[in-house]
Structure 1
Amino acid sequence: ALRPRPSLDVRALNLEAGRTAQGPLRWVEGDVFQLTVSAMIVLNIVIVVHSALYEEAASKYWMCEEFILGFYCMELLLRILHFRCHFFCTAFSEAVWNYLDILLVTYGIIDQWAFMAAYGHRTSIMVLRGFRLLRLIRVVRLVQALFRGDFGWVDGANFQFTVGFVIALNAVFMGVETSFVGNPLWWWVNQAFLSFFIFEIAMRMRRSGLARFAFKSEELLWNYLDTLIVITGVLDQWILPLLALLMRQEDLVAGGGIGQLMMLVRILRLMRMLRLLRLVKAVRPLYHLAVGIMKALQSMAWVLVLTMVALYASALLTTNLIGKAMIPAAESIDPETRALFGNVPDSFFTLFGLMNRQYWEDIAPIFDAMPWAKPVWVIFIILSSWALLSVMTGVVSDNMLEVRQAQEQKDSDAFEEFRDRLLRVLTEVFTAADKDGSKTLEKEEYMEVLSSPFHVRRLQMLANVPTQDMINMFDWLDVDAGGAISLED
């Protein structure tokens, strides 16, 4: 049965039914304005944290803080004017967010404007450190966005391309930062990258569900890797600097706590290199190449074993014949050249280098003393280098072809499964909406379906269609203007 309960998830649909506020300020509920508010919250959080960590920089942000507070006041006023009494008398979960916004904005007005006008300065430094950090609670406004709207765009090509581009840009920046150390701009750039990665993984969790993301996803290992990267980034850039600040305030430097903390920070910064693995995952051809190589390593195991056996046998032979001078001609060879074959490990390493076109100039005296050894070395190079290299190339090529065919089959099966699931859901929704059993949906029946958050969420999670397009879908499908659509349409 249909469940036409109003929900924040389908605000665009509720506009059609008159369940949300109308008027010239409807854009306050739009995606552009909400994205602007979210960006302002993130900027405010970064400024608050940076001011707490570096007190000498706090005075440089007063203009930004004034602008942000003014923006918050404007945003709160626009929402009150738009929703009017419904802003205060709405559902409990929504009212809590609204009253929290009022509390935080009121505190900002008292802290930044009222005390400044009355005393010429802001609140005392102790209150500043204790209460101004409470403005970080504004981050809950970002959490609120995770429970609104559909997130079908997370699986879209545009978002995936953006993620791949940011990962590649982060990889380039890591090299630039390593080459030019000490630039204060790097701190801000790192905050931007970390914020984006947190946003991206939060959207993926919201899209697939936490249980599926953590336990049932086909890319479970990659999900764990992405989570590890984000956690280490948060520890490195946010948690540990705040702990260092608290430890300095409590005079714990003498106890060696800061030194141990800084060592942990250095280790976590090395963990940033794990982000390069995400670049492999983000670029699909590169990912297929990496998977093919990993699978080829399994097939190349016996080829590598054969190579090691051949090198070991050759090392035993050259050590005895050349290094130990078992043949008289070897005694006339230069001692430095004979040292290359002085023992089995040295001979093994020298022969491995010869396979890769190294040490040829160093072993030239051997051919002067023993001309008959030239054909032996030719045979060794043909077998150890040319033949084995060809075998390895063939193994890798075969595995790359198998990986590509397997991926194409996997994509085809996934598309068929998605198509069947979508058809099943459409049939269920259509049957529930077709109350008169006419096997067609009229305009009123169609809009009643869209008033049900349960069915709308199911359709959005499968079809990845924006809510406004779902409203217009009836007119698009009703090509004959007959006022009804069928399941085949």
Structure 2
Amino acid sequence: MVEGTLRARVSRVVDAQWFQNTIITVIVLNAVALGVETYRDEIEGGDALFATAEHLFVAFFTFELALKLYARGPSFFRDPWNWFDTAVVAIALVPSSGSFSVLRLLRILRILRLISVMPQMRVIVSALFRSVPGLGTVIGLLLIIVYTGAVLGEKMFHETDPERFGDLGTTLYSMFILLTTEDWPDVAEPVLQQHPMAWIFFVGYIVVSAFIVLNLVIGVIVTSMQHEVSEERWEEDQELELRQHEAVMTQLETLTTQVTRLSAEVRELRAANGTLDTREDEDLSDPPRA
């Protein structure tokens, strides 16, 4: 009973907005400290100062992780972001000397914890991962378009501009430049000087690849993000219902305990009253002595 009440209190602290804001502030301070550490040679006593700051940051993140682990219990490890946070903190606890010195460079991963702490960033990253299957189809379509354009370009313009359309490899590179629309006039101008109608090829390729296909990519990502937001809200609602249920059950257990105590006290009082009534009846039934 006491443990359940303590876990509920710790859970409320972990879920509190001020606690989340504190974590974000410490992560930002840690990021600033890592940046300032690059000037340690110019700061007198910088090594000792940064070593102390590192120990404080590691202690805070370890304490934060311990609180979350106690508050969530076994469900803590169901969230992939908690696994990420655990790995980042565990790396900081590994000695940074000897063969493990390279792990010291991974301290910069703590900045990425902003993603796991801030729900908005977490939704974006989760949506990107969720959109990978859909993006695979769109990227496959894009590769087909690029390859088709490269074959056509090589067939039509390899004599006109052998530097950019001389073979399939160089033509694929030229098609990639056209896809990004970066310096595409430099690719098209030598051909247009000899083939004025070639603009149909270049404009058609750019419209299909750069605008239509890339908009499909954006559409897939946006759809995944909307789905992720809906799922995030559903999970929040489910978690809220679970917490409310746990709170009701805790109150019910408290009331049950109180009712049990009151029932025991009532039985004791009735037993005591029953004993007194029995004694009074015995006194009344005895005849008075002369």
Q: TM-score range by the shorter chain?
A: 0.7 to 0.9
In structure 2, the residue matched to 1:409 is: 234
User: Kindly tell me: are residues 293 and 240 of structure 1, through their superposed partners in 2, closer, same or farther at Cα, counting changes over 3 Å?
Assistant: closer
In structure 1, the residue matched to 2:251 is: 426
Query: Alignment partner of 1:411: what SS?
Result: helix
Deviations 1:35-75 (A, max 9, x none): xxxxxxxxxxxxxxxxxxxxxxxxxxxxxxxxxxxxxxxxx
In structure 1, the residue matched to 2:18 is: 158
In structure 2, the residue matched to 1:379 is: 204
Give the stretch that moved more between structures: 429-438 or 395-404. 429-438
Q: Give the conservation status (yes or no) of the 8 Å contact 2:24–2:114.
A: yes
Query: Alignment partner of 1:434: what SS?
Result: helix
- TM-score, normalised on structure 2? 0.78
CA distance in 2, matches of 1:353, 1:227: 42
Q: Give the conservation status (yes or no) of the 8 Å contact 2:91–2:103.
A: yes
CA shift for structure 1 position 437 = 5.3
Q: Say if 2:141 is the partner of 1:281.
A: no
CA distance in 2, matches of 1:352, 1:224: 39
Work out which of the residue numbers 202, 222, 245 in structure 2 matches 1:397.
222
TM alignment of 1:18-417, pairs within 5 A: 151-152=10-11, 153-178=13-38, 180-182=39-41, 183=43, 184=46, 185-209=49-73, 211-213=74-76, 217-219=77-79, 221-235=80-94, 239-241=95-97, 261=98, 264-265=100-101, 267-323=102-158, 325=159, 330=160, 333=161, 338-363=162-187, 364-417=189-242
CA distance in 2, matches of 1:381, 1:149: 59
CA distance in 2, matches of 1:148, 1:384: 55
CA shift for structure 1 position 389 = 2.1
CA distance in 2, matches of 1:367, 1:154: 65
Q: Give the conservation status (yes or no) of the 8 Å contact 2:62–2:89.
A: yes
User: Kindly tell me: are residues 382 and 344 of structure 1, through their superposed partners in 2, closer, same or farther at Cα, counting changes over 3 Å?
Assistant: same
Question: How many positions carry a matched residue from both structures?
Answer: 254
Q: Give the conservation status (yes or no) of the 8 Å contact 1:232–1:271.
A: yes
Query: Alignment partner of 2:157: what SS?
Result: helix
CA shift for structure 1 position 227 = 2.1
CA shift for structure 1 position 347 = 2.0
What percent identity do the matched residue pairs reach? 25
Query: Alignment partner of 1:358: what SS?
Result: coil
Q: Which has the larger share of helix?
A: 2
In structure 2, the residue matched to 1:50 is: none
CA shift for structure 1 position 181 = 4.5
What code does the residue aligned with 1:285 have?
Q
Q: Give the conservation status (yes or no) of the 8 Å contact 1:341–1:350.
A: yes
CA shift for structure 1 position 307 = 0.1
Query: Alignment partner of 2:133: what SS?
Result: helix
CA distance in 2, matches of 1:318, 1:148: 68
Aligned-pair Cα RMSD in Å: 2.7
What code does the residue aligned with 1:187 have?
A
Structure 1 unmatched runs, 5+: 10-146, 242-260, 439-489
CA distance in 2, matches of 1:368, 1:348: 21
Query: Alignment partner of 1:300: what SS?
Result: helix
User: Kindly tell me: are residues 148 and 307 of structure 1, through their superposed partners in 2, closer, same or farther at Cα, counting changes over 3 Å?
Assistant: closer
Q: Give the conservation status (yes or no) of the 8 Å contact 1:350–1:359.
A: no
CA distance in 2, matches of 1:361, 1:410: 50
Deviations 1:339-372 (A, max 9, x none): 2333323322321221112232432211112111
Structure 2 unmatched runs, 5+: 265-290
- TM-score, normalised on structure 1? 0.48
Q: Give the conservation status (yes or no) of the 8 Å contact 2:146–2:172.
A: yes
CA distance in 1, matches of 2:57, 2:208: 50
CA shift for structure 1 position 278 = 0.9
Of structures 1 and 2, the one scoring higher in RCO (CA 8 A, sep 6+) is 1
CA shift for structure 1 position 212 = 4.4
What code does the residue aligned with 2:165 have?
F
CA distance in 2, matches of 1:374, 1:187: 62
Q: Give the conservation status (yes or no) of the 8 Å contact 2:181–2:206.
A: no
What code does the residue aligned with 1:192 have?
L
